[in-house]
Amino acid sequence: MSKRIEIKNLDIYYDKFKAVEDVNMVIEPKSVTAFIGPSGCGKSTVLRTLNRMHEVIPKAWVDGEVLLDGDDLYGQGVDPVNVRRQVGMVFQRPNPFPTMSIKENVLAGVRLNNRRISNKDAAELVEKSLRGANLWNEVKDRLDAPGGGLSGGQQQRLCIARAIAVKPDVLLMDEPCSALDPISTLAIEDLIHELKTEYTIVIVTHNMQQATRVSDRTGFFNIAGTGKPGKLIEFDDTRNIFENPQNKQTQDYVTGRFG
């Protein structure tokens, strides 16, 4: 289920603007990788290239390769919809379908993929996904109630349940806790720990404590100035990035001297 991601010589553009330059990194299966760095350095942009969400933006394009267990996501004839089924995404703001029931929210991705599913299989998948997202006990008695009626933290876990219901290989998370209170944040962080036993996880976070709590490896991105492309400055075990960074820019950032 969990797959290895290899990014090779990746340049990322918005029309003529090169937003990110020459990213190379290997992300191992069953691990959590955090992307950190100052605003505008391209963390979210890189994340979105890992499931071809980047090209949803008009005139956005990439040059380079992103391999999933050796297969180039940008290869000829690859269907982006199929890529997004394998590489799921959770966004900054929880975005369940508010009027749709909790149960149907979990099944939404599966239904979008046109998979026919019996009522019995659907019920099993809903329970398994909600258990996987640590939400089952809180919602099992109100599966037919609207998803919009849950708290922010519960809604975010519902979105994670929806993402894992399609059985992806990789989960991308773009600041998944930034709209949540500290208790809900801890619930999501605990969940990330559990999910890593099954998925490759990549998370963008502004919160350095969060990066140290949840990730095995950390990539630090930086930008030389406005209009310049963001670059991956250092990528290493999270502990090294925070305790023994090799690059001066990384050191300045993690010690709070800028950013």
Ligand X SMILES: Nc1ncnc2c1ncn2[C@@H]1O[C@H](COP(=O)(O)OP(=O)(O)OP(=O)(O)O)[C@@H](O)[C@H]1O
**Contact footprint for ligand X (CB under 6 A):** 14, 19, 37, 39-45, 57, 230
Cβ at position 180, least distance to ligand X in Å: 16
Residue 199 or residue 221: which is nearer to ligand X going by CB? 221
Distance CA 5, CA 147 (A): 32
Report residue 48: phi and psi, to 5°.
-70, -20
Residue 29 or residue 259: which is nearer to ligand X going by CB? 259
Residue 56 or residue 81: which is nearer to ligand X going by CB? 56
Cβ at position 23, least distance to ligand X in Å: 12
Residue 196 or residue 231: which is nearer to ligand X going by CB? 231
Distance CA 162, CA 234 (A): 33
**Residue 175 corresponds to which amino acid?**
E
Residue 217 or residue 231: which is nearer to ligand X going by CB? 231
Report the candidate in 214, 220, 191, 240 with the shortest Cα–Cα distance to residue 31.
214
Residue 27 or residue 47: which is nearer to ligand X going by CB? 47
**Residue 59 corresponds to which amino acid?**
K
Cβ at position 234, least distance to ligand X in Å: 15
Cβ at position 152, least distance to ligand X in Å: 19
Q: Strand pairing of 60-68 and 5-14?
A: antiparallel
Distance CA 2, CA 120 (A): 26
Cβ at position 51, least distance to ligand X in Å: 14
DSSP assignment string, 123-166: HHHHHHHHHHTT-HHHHTT-TTSBGGGS-HHHHHHHHHHHHHHT
Distance CA 204, CA 186 (A): 16
Cβ at position 55, least distance to ligand X in Å: 11
Distance CA 130, CA 9 (A): 38
